Amino acid sequence: MLIVIDANGPTPLYAQIASQLRRAIAEGKVRAGERLPPARELAESLAVNLHTVLRAYDELRSEGVLDVRRGRGVVVVGAGGDRARLVDLARTLVEEGTRQGLALKDLRKLLGEV
Amino acid sequence: MTGAWRWALVAPAVIGLAAALAPLLRYWFELPDPIAVHWGIDFRPDGSLPRRTAFWPPAALVGGILFVALIGSARAYAVGRAVRVWLVTFMSALAATVSAVTVFRNLGRSIWTEAGSMTPGLLALQVGLPLVLATVAGAGALLLWRDVQPPAPASAPPLPLATGERAYWTGSASNGWLLALGGALLVQAAVLQTAVPQLRALTVLLPALVAAAIALEFVSRIRVTIDRRGVQVRYGHLGLWTKQLPLGRIVAVQAVDVDPLAHSGWGYRGSLLLFGRASLVVRAGPALKLDLTRGQRLFITVDDAATGARLLGALLERETAAHGAAASTPSGP
């Protein structure tokens, strides 16, 4: 599982980490039932605050991709792969739309046309 | 590399077993039943088997070693092939010489306890001949079947890593067989402790079995992480024991395919300190090949080693660039 973040980029670090995790899960680098590394380890490796990683994990948990259990660590939930890919695509769409100056309702209209 | 060389595994086994069976059948009616098959430390016969079953232990041994040698033989390369040929030839020849010596010592005796004594000369012949044959066969295999090309896939280009980008990679390798073997040792320890009271006197046996089980657990699963600081290996399912390799210790990295038998087996093999070579082999397949400072080399089996190698390559490049810049700064102004 590879995670690359850009400390100088415009996207918040937690969002970058979440996006990289989503991609890793969608690509099957981490399979359902497998554990993600402890947040502390990831934070130390990437030289970011522990809460940044925890926020990324929390975001994926609320999307139903991860299951965070006390004592068992962070586990990838089954069938999260497809949804994770979809969420990642949607996020890319929103990001690209924002960059081109499109509001959310413009994007909705666009999605309707597609 | 085609699989033709594997006949060099099957042929010695078949020939060896035939040679082991031949004297037994030839002198069948001139041998006692049961037949002496084991000699004690005083060179007197101290163990016997019914004549009909005397052939099965060597046959099972040769069959077993042939089976082990065939595991993963399709992807074996030069050293792995030679080691396999050596092992099978040695065991097959040993089966033949042991059978010959056994028949020779039992010949014409009416009861197995009267079988002739073992002699140092017979023992030396019994082990020496297989050693010579196996070494000749192994060396022959090494000379005959060379690697057409290096088995290592060419090192992938380093991951493009821009300044300011931070990266983390983790991969693992696990082997359920090693874990099961560790569990079996624990069961054996428990059984010996409870069911065989005489063995309680052997106080060293129980700790040794438990220690072996723990060692097996440690290499039944490892997890490798690569980041700006270097490589870290966590042993076992809990990762309680770790090994650190700072970036400055690593000179080059490559993703390769590893054949356990070419690395003398599973587990942590060799020693960086003593031999400058070590391999952490959990299973056959992808591995990181790390060239370290002081000319040392370390293999670590891990899934998706290719990605890990690409990241580590990028981190090494960045480290080299940073050092180059630091070195040139003082001479600048």
Q: Residues near B20 by Cβ (< 8 Å), separated by ≥ 6?
A: B55, B58, B59, B95, B96, B98, B99, B100
Contact check, Cβ <8 Å, B169/A1: yes
Nearest to A4 among B165, B171, B225 (CB): B165
Q: Which of B112-121, B292-301, B323-332 has the lowest mean pLDDT?
A: B323-332
Q: Per-residue pLDDT averaged across B75-86, rounded? A: 80
- Per residue in B268-310, pLDDT (tens digit) is 988 887 778 899 999 999 999 999 988 889 999 999 999 999 9
Arithmetic mean of pLDDT over chain B:
87
Confidence band of A98 (pLDDT split at 50, 70, 90):
confident
Distance from CA of B163 to the nearest CA of A (A): 8
Q: Output the pLDDT for position A78.
A: 60
Query: What does the alpha-carbon distance between residue B194 and residue A34 come to, in Å, rounded to a whole number?
Result: 38
Query: What does the alpha-carbon distance between residue B257 and residue B150 come to, in Å, rounded to a whole number?
Result: 11
Nearest to A5 among B159, B166, B171 (CB): B166
Query: What does the alpha-carbon distance between residue B190 and residue B31 come to, in Å, rounded to a whole number?
Result: 42
Written as one string, the DSSP assignment of B215-243 is HHHHHHEEEEEEETTEEEEEETTT--EEE
Contact check, Cβ <8 Å, B159/A4: yes
Query: What does the alpha-carbon distance between residue B109 and residue B91 come to, in Å, rounded to a whole number?
Result: 28
Q: Classify burial at B25, counting beta carbons within 10 Å of its beta carbon; exposed 0-12, middle 13-18, buried 19 or more.
A: exposed
Query: Phi and psi dihedrals of B292, rounded to 5?
Result: -105, 170
Q: Output the pLDDT for position A9.
A: 83
- Tokens representing B82? 């030679």
Residues of B in Cβ contact (< 8 Å) with A6: 162, 164-166
Q: Kindly state whether B169 is in contact with chain A, defined as any CB-CB distance less than 8 angstroms.
A: yes
> Best interface-test mutation with A: which of B159, B161, B168 has the largest number of A CBs within 10 A?
B168
- Per residue in A45-89, pLDDT (tens digit) is 999 999 999 999 998 888 888 888 777 788 888 655 566 677 778
Q: Output the pLDDT for position B173.
A: 95
Q: Classify burial at B52, counting beta carbons within 10 Å of its beta carbon; exposed 0-12, middle 13-18, buried 19 or more.
A: exposed
Arithmetic mean of pLDDT over chain A:
85
- Per the model's pLDDT, the better-predicted residue between B257 and A91 turns out to be B257
Q: Output the pLDDT for position A89.
A: 81
- Per residue in B162-186, pLDDT (tens digit) is 888 999 999 999 999 999 999 999 8
Q: Output the pLDDT for position B272.
A: 83
- Tokens representing B303? 């899934």
Q: What is the largest CA-CA distance in chain A?
A: 47
Would you say residue B333 has pLDDT above 50?
Answer: no
- Per the model's pLDDT, the better-predicted residue between B22 and B68 turns out to be B22
Task: Please tell me what DSSP assigns to residue A57.
Answer: H
Contact check, Cβ <8 Å, A47/B228: yes
Torsion of CA B246, B250, B253, B255, to 10 degrees: -50
Query: What does the alpha-carbon distance between residue A48 and residue B139 come to, in Å, rounded to a whole number?
Result: 55
Residues of A in Cβ contact (< 8 Å) with B171: 1
Amino acid at A75: V
Kindly provide the residue ranges of all beta strands, DSSP E only, lying in A26-85, ordered along the sequence.
Answer: 66-69, 73-76
Question: Cβ–Cβ contacts within 10 Å for residue B231, how many?
Answer: 25
Residues of B in Cβ contact (< 8 Å) with A30: none
Would you say residue B21 has pLDDT above 60?
Answer: yes
Contact check, Cβ <8 Å, B164/A45: no
**Percentage of residues of chain B with pLDDT beyond 70:** 90
Q: Output the pLDDT for position B36.
A: 93
Cβ(B277)–Cβ(B296) below 8 Å: yes
Segments in chain B forming alpha helices (H)? 7-26, 56-70, 78-106, 120-144, 176-195, 205-220, 272-275, 305-328
Chain A interface residues (partner B, CB cutoff 8 A): 1-8, 29, 37, 41-42, 45-48
Would you say residue B150 has pLDDT above 50?
Answer: no
Contact check, Cβ <8 Å, A6/B164: yes
Could you tell me which residues are beta bridge partners of residue B250?
B292
- Per the model's pLDDT, the better-predicted residue between B128 and A31 turns out to be B128
- Tokens representing B16? 């060896």
Nearest to A2 among B162, B228, B311 (CB): B311
Q: Which residue has the tokens 């979440």?
A: A18
Query: What does the alpha-carbon distance between residue A29 and residue B306 come to, in Å, rounded to a whole number?
Result: 13
Q: Per-residue pLDDT averaged across A5-20, rounded? A: 90
Helix (H), strand (E) at residue A51: helix A50-62
With CA atoms as reference, report the closest residue to B120 among B99, B101, B92, B147.
Answer: B101
Confidence band of B202 (pLDDT split at 50, 70, 90):
low
Would you say residue B214 has pLDDT above 70?
Answer: yes
Q: Output the pLDDT for position B332.
A: 39
- A&B contacts, CB < 8 Å: 46
Amino acid at A72: R
The long-range contacts involving B281-284, CB below 8 angstroms and separated by at least 24 positions, are B281/B219, B282/B173, B282/B174, B282/B175, B282/B178, B282/B219, B282/B220, B282/B221, B282/B222, B283/B173, B283/B174, B283/B175, B284/B72, B284/B75, B284/B257, B284/B258, B284/B259, B284/B260
Query: What does the alpha-carbon distance between residue A24 and residue A2 come to, in Å, rounded to a whole number?
Result: 7
Contact check, Cβ <8 Å, B168/A46: yes
Residues of B in Cβ contact (< 8 Å) with A74: none
Would you say residue B318 has pLDDT above 60?
Answer: yes
> Best interface-test mutation with A: which of B159, B165, B166 has the largest number of A CBs within 10 A?
B166
